[in-house]
């Protein structure tokens, strides 16, 4: 099994343009909104084209491709809903929901060689790391600039227990936490793969350390819980098929001075991390979640959202009517708006039953194919990265507005789509003697 490697190669111009576009988005709030919107619309357009081409060529995951086109068409038509204040707000609502899903379909539709796809995974992952470090530097060394950036997150979101949350160059602490969760999971997986390869282990350690730092400073409990569950899932995958982690867990016997030194370092690092975590306000409040006032307010929002869904179950209330980032736009226009802090309810509110069904078909098909790759032992290195990418999206989607967490949700869905495409390409190859 080869590690993740390769070059942008193949359709070089398209890939270079895609990477540049993602870099622009990851530069964050300093980039003007029209520029970011143009890139996001370009992603949706590109995803639509490659999806239609995939249908014409009878590519795998046809049902998911059809569901994506139907969902995009539904959201576009529903901009005409009388509840949507204006075309601009409706278009922004479409972007908040569909750009991330477009990333999944765009990654799935890239038609090039294995090395090209794997190189794109590396490029996007490194962009996420650079974006994380840039936001971390702003938070640590330019807090005044961080606070000066205009965000939709209110003062309550920006703090937890009276302690400031990191936002950096991104739109809010939830974006930071999603990014941190991916970096921590991808770093842990890469570190396990490179147990006996210093260069790969170093890359994994940098990702892991950066991810944990972001999780600690963002102080988002969901991110910490999702990361914990993700690490357990990766442990299971590693035991079953991981070339490094599986062997380490099965043997449990360090060999030589280097392994003993690594084990001692890991124990000390975990002990230090545990000590730091015990002082983090988000960790301290996890045990009190059932009695937390934020949880209670979200339960109230879920109840109110359920009532709205029952009032318009088929067509919903229009794009953006459940997005926290567009709350003020609807309030100003005196329109119906509710943020349920729940992905399924959010889709029902905005696009009705059809939108939710399309979402389940798209992501359900993706998860089924990812599981098949795992069971067949296909590209285990990339399978772990795909899990690291999809876990934060789905975890945050269950308790919030994860699809709207651009550009993080877009990048993570793109990585998942590329991993799936590469696994499907491997499955369609003739089986040879060397596998």
pLDDT tens across 364-415, in order? 999 998 888 777 766 667 788 899 999 999 999 988 889 999 999 999 999 9
Whether residue 407 is preceded by a cis peptide bond, meaning omega within 30 degrees of 0, is: yes
Read off the pLDDT of residues 47-94 as tens digits, 9 standing for 90 and up. Answer: 999 999 988 887 778 999 999 999 999 999 999 999 999 999 999 999
Question: Do the beta carbons of residue 377 and residue 166 sit within 8 Å?
Answer: no
Q: E strand or H helix at 339, and its extent?
A: none
Q: End-to-end CA distance of the chain, in Å?
A: 10
- Where residue 324 falls among pLDDT bands split at 50, 70, 90? confident
* pLDDT value at residue 249: 47
Whether residue 59 is preceded by a cis peptide bond, meaning omega within 30 degrees of 0, is: no
* pLDDT value at residue 1: 35
**What pTM was estimated for this model as a whole?**
0.85
Backbone angles phi, psi at 335, to 5 degrees: -95, 170
Above 80 in pLDDT, residue 314?
yes
* pLDDT value at residue 433: 37
CA 391 – CA 290 distance, rounded (Å): 23
What does the CA dihedral 270, 257, 190, 382 come to, rounded to 10 degrees? -130
Domain boundaries, the chain: 12-160+252-382+397-427
Q: What is the rounded average pLDDT for all residues in the chain?
A: 80
Return the half-sphere exposure (C-beta side, CA atoms, 13 A cut-off) of residue 38.
8
The token duo for 384 is 């772990």
Q: What is the mean pLDDT of residues 302-309?
A: 81
Coil, helix or strand for 396? helix
Residue 428: C-alpha distances to residues 106, 135, 298, 421 (Å): 19, 41, 46, 11
């Amino acid at each position: 099994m080869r590690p993740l490697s390769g070059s942008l190669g193949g359709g070089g111009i398209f890939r270079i343009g895609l990477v540049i576009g993602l870099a622009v988005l990851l530069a964050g709030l300093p980039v003007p909104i029209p520029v970011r919107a143009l890139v996001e619309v370009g992603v949706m357009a590109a995803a639509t084209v490659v999806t239609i081409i995939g249908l014409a060529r009878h590519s795998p995951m046809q049902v998911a491709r059809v569901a994506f086109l139907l969902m995009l068409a539904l959201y576009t038509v529903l901009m005409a809903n009388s509840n949507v204040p204006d075309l601009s707000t409706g278009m922004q609502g479409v972007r908040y929901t569909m750009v991330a899903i477009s990333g999944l379909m765009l990654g799935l539709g890239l038609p090039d060689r294995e090395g090209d796809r794997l190189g794109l995974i590396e490029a996007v992952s490194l962009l996420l790391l650079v974006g994380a470090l840039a936001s971390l530097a702003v938070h640590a060394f330019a807090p005044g600039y961080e606070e000066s950036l205009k965000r939709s997150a209110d003062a309550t979101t920006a703090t937890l227990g009276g302690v400031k949350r990191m936002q950096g160059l991104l739109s809010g602490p939830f974006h930071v936490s999603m990014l941190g969760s991916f970096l921590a999971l991808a770093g842990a997986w890469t570190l396990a793969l490179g147990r006996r390869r210093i260069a790969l282990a170093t890359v994994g350690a940098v990702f892991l350390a950066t991810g944990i730092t972001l999780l600690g400073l963002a102080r988002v409990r969901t991110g910490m819980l999702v990361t914990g569950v993700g690490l357990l899932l990766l442990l299971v995958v590693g035991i079953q098929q991981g070339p490094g982690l599986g062997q380490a867990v099965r043997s449990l016997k360090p060999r030589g001075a280097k392994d003993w030194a690594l084990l001692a370092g890991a124990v000390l690092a975990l002990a230090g991390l545990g000590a730091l975590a015990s002082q983090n306000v988000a960790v301290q409040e996890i045990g009190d979640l059932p009695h937390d006032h934020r949880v209670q307010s979200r339960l109230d929002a879920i109840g109110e959202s359920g009532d709205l869904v029952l009032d318009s179950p088929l067509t919903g209330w229009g794009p953006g009517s459940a997005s926290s980032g567009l709350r003020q736009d609807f309030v100003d226009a005196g329109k119906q708006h509710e943020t349920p802090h729940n992905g399924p309810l959010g889709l029902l509110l905005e696009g009705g039953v059809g939108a939710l069904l399309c979402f389940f078909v798209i992501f359900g098909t993706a998860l089924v194919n990812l599981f098949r790759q795992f069971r067949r032992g296909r590209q285990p290195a990339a399978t772990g990265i795909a899990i690291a990418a999809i876990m934060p999206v789905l975890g945050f989607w269950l308790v919030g507005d994860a699809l709207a967490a651009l550009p993080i949700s877009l990048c993570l869905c793109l990585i998942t789509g590329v991993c799936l495409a590469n696994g499907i390409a491997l499955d369609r190859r003739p089986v040879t003697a060397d596998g």
